[in-house]
Amino acid sequence: MTTTTVLTDAPTFDNRQDFADELIALARTNDKVVAVCNDSVGSSNLTKFRDEFPDRLINVGIAEQNMVGVGAGLANAGLIPFVCAAGPFLTGRSLEQIKADVAYSQHNVILCGMSPGMAYGELGPTHHSVEDFSWLRALPGLDIVVPADGAQTRAAVRNAVADPRPTYIRVGRFKVPHVSEDNVGLERGKFVVAREGSDLTIIATGTEVSRALWAAASLAAEGVSARVLNAAYLSPLDEDAIKDAARQTGAIITAEEANVAGGLGAAVASVVGQLEDGARVPMRILGLKHFAPTGSTAFLLDHFGLTADHISAAAREVLHRD
């Protein structure tokens, strides 16, 4: 149990740098680590990887279906492929390949959704990856990892090499503050307790974790004790942590930079709604409900009610303290 304090003016970082540095470090000691991309050497931060391991970066060009199939084939040959592409194209264009070639075939491919969520801001919904949770949660046998900062991104990469299995990792581009210690580990299928609390639980993922912590800090000043769970893994889902939150605290709020139809909130609600002892807690699910209008990532997170203030307001509302 750790209580993390993240200041709203803390420095922020792009997780892709940590991703690339960790991948290179692992590739130096494990010659089975290879990368595959779709003309995204730069945007996937693979330039240094390519320079050091030119034969082990397979750039298939702008051909995402083939890219995922090639990843499955590399795994079939015995390698550990990290398939890197902008989230929307990786998951949207290649969804059937992810289903058939990776999840159903159980080929140990590490799918790296770069710049997920609304990281591409003004480029619009074609370039946003906010459906990935909904689409990929429906695929049995595929892990979904959503690191909340650079250290967790490194942990996700280490986990993938140490225990290769079909996995999707969101590799964030929108700058976020550190919410965990350097060299932190991530336990497969477990939420991270980012802050203890007893009045309600905020379950946040990715970019929303630091915001949930800010919200918890401001709620504490009002006498409200908020537990914050970092949903670092969406699949396998930490059902025990959700059940504990429902039984031990009075309400649950979820926050995700994703569409709410089938995402984190829906996953949590599905567990809460089926508790064996019939326990019931009020919930609020924060996320996207329509395609984004034009705006920067920060603007859109505000637009969709995904700031710390929105989370605090939802807490007050659900606890009837508004």
Which residues make up the interface to other proteins (CB under 8 A)?
34, 36, 55-56, 58, 60-61, 63, 65-66, 68-79, 81, 96-97, 100-101, 104-107
CB of 56 to other proteins, least distance (A): 7
Q: In what order do the strands lie in the sheet with 57-59?
A: 57-59, 33-37, 80-86, 110-114, 167-171, 143-145, 233-235
Q: Closer to other proteins at the Cβ: 66 or 270?
A: 66
CB of 108 to other proteins, least distance (A): 12
Nearest to 160, CA basis, from 80, 98, 103, 231: 80
Q: Closer to other proteins at the Cβ: 106 or 218?
A: 106
Q: Which residues contact 98 (CB under 8 A, 6 or more apart)?
A: 68, 91, 111, 136, 139, 142, 168
CB of 68 to other proteins, least distance (A): 8
Q: Closer to other proteins at the Cβ: 32 or 190?
A: 32
Residue 115 gets the label, from left (phi > 0), alpha (psi -120 to 50) or beta, of: left
Q: Closer to other proteins at the Cβ: 38 or 134?
A: 38
Q: Closer to other proteins at the Cβ: 105 or 225?
A: 105
Give the three-class secondary structure for 277: coil
Count Cβ atoms below 10 Å from residue 293 Cβ, excluding itself. Answer: 12
CB of 242 to other proteins, least distance (A): 29
Q: Closer to other proteins at the Cβ: 61 or 273?
A: 61
Distance in angstroms (rounded) separating the CA atoms of residues 85 and 100: 19
For helices 15-29 and 150-162, angle between their N-to-C axes, nearest 10 degrees: 30
Count Cβ atoms below 10 Å from residue 278 Cβ, excluding itself. Answer: 6
User: What does DSSP assign to residue 209?
Assistant: H
CB of 76 to other proteins, least distance (A): 5
CB of 289 to other proteins, least distance (A): 31
